[in-house]
Amino acid sequence: MEFFYRNNNLVTQSSAKKEIIFNLETKDVSIDDFSVSNQGEYEKSGILVEVKDYENNFFYSISVDWYHVFIITTDSFELTEDILSFFGDIDVLLLPWSKNSIKIYENIEAKVVIPYWEGKDVFFATISQHKDEVENFKVKWEIMWDVTEFVNLKN
């Protein structure tokens, strides 16, 4: 599984070359050309997606290549037990950067964190991570369970 930017989209490409496309402007998600941007459960090309709407904020739980990827589209929500139970075990967390993102990240134990947004460098500095930008990120077969890896994707 690989993560990279294309135009204004954050793309997750599966090992079968299927793409999960997250449009950063509209916050819409699609698998190839199939939109999954409404609450519900979806399956396409072996990719499972569950979309939850909490107070008009969408959260995407995606199972792809035996990994659990989670997309948070906003930082303006209250972390309730209901939301935290939906998160479950997260391998890769995509979240917008802001002051609230730190609180979200600290309450969700993800193995890989990929912040997006213009101020993501401040996110890295705030958590004392000084990551160089990379064009893409490939998830290794075995993600380390006791260490969180932070990724600074070049947009």
CA distance 132 to 139: 17
What does CATH list as the number for 2-150?
3.60.15.10
Domain borders along the chain are: 2-150
Query: pLDDT by residue (tens digit) across 13-52?
Result: 999 999 999 999 999 999 998 999 999 999 999 999 999 9
The pLDDT value recorded for residue 78 is: 76
More confident residue, 31 or 81: 31
More confident residue, 55 or 41: 41
Residue 154 carries which side chain, given as an amino acid letter? K
CA distance 69 to 11: 12
- For 43-63, what is the mean pLDDT? 91
The pLDDT value recorded for residue 151 is: 85
- For 68-90, what is the mean pLDDT? 81
The pLDDT value recorded for residue 6 is: 95
What 3-state DSSP class applies to 97? coil
Instruction: Please state the pTM of the whole predicted model.
Output: 0.87
Structure confidence at residue 84 as a pLDDT band (50, 70, 90): confident
Overall size of the chain counted in residues: 155
Token pair of 31, please?
């698998």
DSSP 8-state assignment for residue 153: B
